[in-house]
Chains A and B, each alone.
Chain A
Amino acid sequence: MNIRIALASLLAATTLATSVSAQTLTVITAGDTNMVDYINDYLGPKFEEGHPGVTVRAVGTGPGDGGSQAIYEKIHAQKDKSVWDVDVAVVHQRMAGKMVEEKLLANYRDGVATSKLVTRKTAENALGVNVSGYVMPMFHSQIAIAYNPDVIANPPQSYDELAKWVKENPGKFGYNGITGGMAGVGFVFGWMYAFSGMADEIRNGPWADGAADKWAPALASLRDFNQSVMMTPGNAGTLDAMNRGEIAMGPVWMDMFYTWVADGRLNPNLKLMILSPGMPGQPMYYTVPAKSSQPDLAKEFIAFATSPAVQADGIVRRFNWFPGIDPQNVKSELTDAEWQRLFADVTPETLAERGWSMPQAKYFAAILEAYEKNVAK
């Protein structure tokens, strides 16, 4: 009797796994939990309102490149099937390039009404790979240094000054290395921009074999730097360590910072700044897998998500990201105060001067590998 019940529930569980409603739009996203929250709490319900019978299912794969890698593996595993179980994939720049090169993505942008609003350079080129037509930026975000002005009245303004500052204030600066999310990765890229002597090549190419051999001094000084800083567990871990007073300074995503402050989870006195010469920022991309089962619905979803109204209300007002489409179209939907909030700590001028791009894909991988080999151990 018991066995029969158990068998029945086993069967029930199996059928449940295979039956997915045709009206479900599966959106898979890399990044921190705020990405899933954005789709679950804001975008999904709004889209469902305009599309009765459609359910938006958000699936999060985790922060940083690991999250994008999981999306890649999931789609790559279904390569030979006729239909894939992902309709919209939100990925980082590096993975977007790789997936375009491996023909895993659809060239969909021309069919989307809002495509004319896309003006960012990153919409055409993702870390050296031509992705024109395959991606639409969901938002742009910037890595900055958060600091507690009650503890540090005059924070160091450049990587040079920071390196000296941590020697005098050991343990007061913290970051999450390269395994726990992109804020730490971006901080390391900024370090390489400042000290490798080849910031231009790293950002714009071309790739030179053996470039990594020239990085020995920069990596050695980073290793030395790491001796005086606290390692935090992840992007959120840095914010949490700031919040709990364990560190007074650390690299964070600007949007996460403002969201946490708005949430009451972060001391509102904390401030942001960007180190010179520059710290990287990046967009996240909306992409449609090449064999999505409902490409038209996916396109409608992306068109909706990149419309000026949603970009203003969702991306800027509620989640504190910089818009993915041309700012002029978004600004008009917001009050001045709401728009200026994005620049409360960092002026547009500083942002233009010090908000740099991520490294080209090959340099990207080479720096991470060099870090693991020379700095982490």
Chain B
Amino acid sequence: MRSRHPAFSRLAETLGLALVMGLAAFVVFGPLANLAIWAFAEQWFYPNQWPTRWGFEFWARVFRPRAGAWESLWNSVSIAIATVGLSMVLSIPAGYALARLTLPARSLIMLVFLLPQAFPSLPIFVNIAAIFYGLGLNGSLFGVVLVHSLPGLVYAVWIATASFAAVDRSMEEAARNLGAGPLRTFRDITLPQAFPGLMAASIFVFLDSIDEFTGTYFVGAPDITTLPILMFNASMGGNYQIASITALILLIPSVGFMLVIERFLKADVLSRIGR
């Protein structure tokens, strides 16, 4: 076989690679650009290929005082914060116990904390809603926080366990030898070391809660409107502009946290998840 000129073959390879990368970028960013187009399209009907009028009219409509976007935003954020609070309060002691203390049937308990992720959640949400009806929790913020805490707890327990397992024990022993009590040791030595991992767990729980749709749909709706519910209603009502604008707002925390999460989720914690 006649070998081609090396410079030529390198150029062909670079061009091919650039083409594939361009395609990948289109697949990832094309649908997102589509949202942006819809968010600013004021008039767009067949047979026009592209919007015939652009502007901020629908943004004003989304954020007009009575539209409920502000209320949904406030609901979403307060539910997410409360969900983080509840999940972390439950999972910090649980993670510590799983990582550091002797427990009967430890692997069985770990399995129990995995189960909610191992089976489809929709029937669970439907039945939580049916149970909550009886308790009067349907349509209350607290009910929605409880529903969001189910997936939240799973992430939080797993990551918290890994974070506590990664804490350097020799420093704790040194502190104890110097006369610090167990609580003080936990507060001053263990917790700060586990903090980045716990922070990562909180971020996961927060994002999951902000994005949660199905559970809120069954337990919160119609009284509690979060951003995903608002977006769904707009979309099903054919208000594509309003749905796209809400979708862009929902992307802000998602993308923001994606850019910072690596700072908190260190490799030594990541490798211990699930052990």
Encoded as 1 (CB less than 8 Å from any A CB) or 0, chain B from 220 to 252 comes to 011100000000011011111000000000000
Bound Cα distance from A44 to B138, whole angstroms: 25
A267, chain B: closest CB distance, angstroms:
5
B5 within 8 A of A: no
Bound Cα distance from A315 to B200, whole angstroms: 52
Interface size class of A (residues with CB under 8 A): 35 or more
Bound Cα distance from A184 to B45, whole angstroms: 22
B147, chain A: closest CB distance, angstroms:
13
| A17 / chain B contacts, CB cutoff of 8 Å | 140-143
A32 within 8 A of B: yes
Bound Cα distance from A41 to B78, whole angstroms: 26
- Residues 242-286 of A at the B interface (beta carbon under 8 Å): 243-246, 260, 264-267
A244 and B85 within 8 A (CB): no
A234 within 8 A of B: yes
A33 and B239 within 8 A (CB): yes
| A3 / chain B contacts, CB cutoff of 8 Å | 85, 88-89, 92
| A246 / chain B contacts, CB cutoff of 8 Å | 46
Determine which of A18, A44, A63, A73 lies in contact with B236 in the assembled complex, contact meaning CB atoms within 8 Å.
A63
B84 within 8 A of A: yes
A13 and B142 within 8 A (CB): yes
Determine which of B53, B88, B145 lies in contact with A13 in the assembled complex, contact meaning CB atoms within 8 Å.
B145
* Residue among B78, B84, B236, B238 with max Cβ neighbours from chain A (10 Å): B238
> Given the known A-B contacts A16-B78, A59-B222, A264-B43, are A7 and B240 also in contact in the complex, defined by CB atoms under 8 Å?
no
> Given the known A-B contacts A44-B66, A237-B238, A267-B45, are A6 and B142 also in contact in the complex, defined by CB atoms under 8 Å?
no
| B234 / chain A contacts, CB cutoff of 8 Å | 33
B68 within 8 A of A: yes
Determine which of A14, A28, A41, A234 lies in contact with B238 in the assembled complex, contact meaning CB atoms within 8 Å.
A234
Chain A residue with Cβ nearest B79: A13
B47 within 8 A of A: yes
B42 within 8 A of A: yes
| A337 / chain B contacts, CB cutoff of 8 Å | none
Number of A-B pairs, beta carbon distance below 8 Å:
114
A162, chain B: closest CB distance, angstroms:
22
B67 within 8 A of A: yes
Bound Cα distance from A246 to B45, whole angstroms: 11
Bound Cα distance from A260 to B234, whole angstroms: 14
B197 within 8 A of A: no
For the residues of A in contact with B, the DSSP-based class is: helix
A33 and B141 within 8 A (CB): no
> Given the known A-B contacts A9-B78, A264-B53, A267-B45, are A60 and B240 also in contact in the complex, defined by CB atoms under 8 Å?
no
A10 and B145 within 8 A (CB): yes
B89 and A7 within 8 A (CB): yes
B273 within 8 A of A: no
* Residue among A6, A16, A32, A63 with max Cβ neighbours from chain B (10 Å): A6
A236 within 8 A of B: yes
Determine which of A2, A5, A14, A61 lies in contact with B142 in the assembled complex, contact meaning CB atoms within 8 Å.
A14
A243 and B222 within 8 A (CB): no
Bound Cα distance from A27 to B35, whole angstroms: 32
| B238 / chain A contacts, CB cutoff of 8 Å | 234-237, 239-240, 260, 265
B151 within 8 A of A: no
Chain B residue with Cβ nearest A242: B46
> Given the known A-B contacts A13-B141, A17-B141, are A6 and B236 also in contact in the complex, defined by CB atoms under 8 Å?
no
| B86 / chain A contacts, CB cutoff of 8 Å | 6, 10
Encoded as 1 (CB less than 8 Å from any B CB) or 0, chain A from 1 to 31 comes to 0110111011011101110000000001000
| A260 / chain B contacts, CB cutoff of 8 Å | 238
A45 within 8 A of B: yes
A77 within 8 A of B: yes
Determine which of A5, A14, A61 lies in contact with B222 in the assembled complex, contact meaning CB atoms within 8 Å.
A61
B236 and A45 within 8 A (CB): no
| A12 / chain B contacts, CB cutoff of 8 Å | 78, 82
Chain B residue with Cβ nearest A7: B85
A70 and B82 within 8 A (CB): no
- Residues 206-245 of A at the B interface (beta carbon under 8 Å): 233-237, 239-240, 243-245
A245 and B222 within 8 A (CB): no
A103 within 8 A of B: no
Chain B residue with Cβ nearest A256: B238
A243 and B45 within 8 A (CB): yes
* Residue among A10, A14, A45 with max Cβ neighbours from chain B (10 Å): A10
A264 and B222 within 8 A (CB): no
Q: List 14 A-B contacts (CB under 8 A).
A: A3-B88, A6-B81, A7-B85, A9-B81, A10-B85, A10-B86, A14-B82, A14-B145, A16-B141, A62-B221, A63-B236, A77-B134, A234-B237, A264-B53
Knowing that A9-B85, A240-B240 are A-B contacts, what are 15 other residue pairs whose CB atoms are under 8 Å apart, sorted by A's residue number?
A6-B82, A6-B84, A10-B145, A12-B78, A17-B142, A45-B66, A59-B223, A61-B221, A62-B221, A63-B237, A74-B139, A77-B133, A77-B136, A78-B136, A267-B45
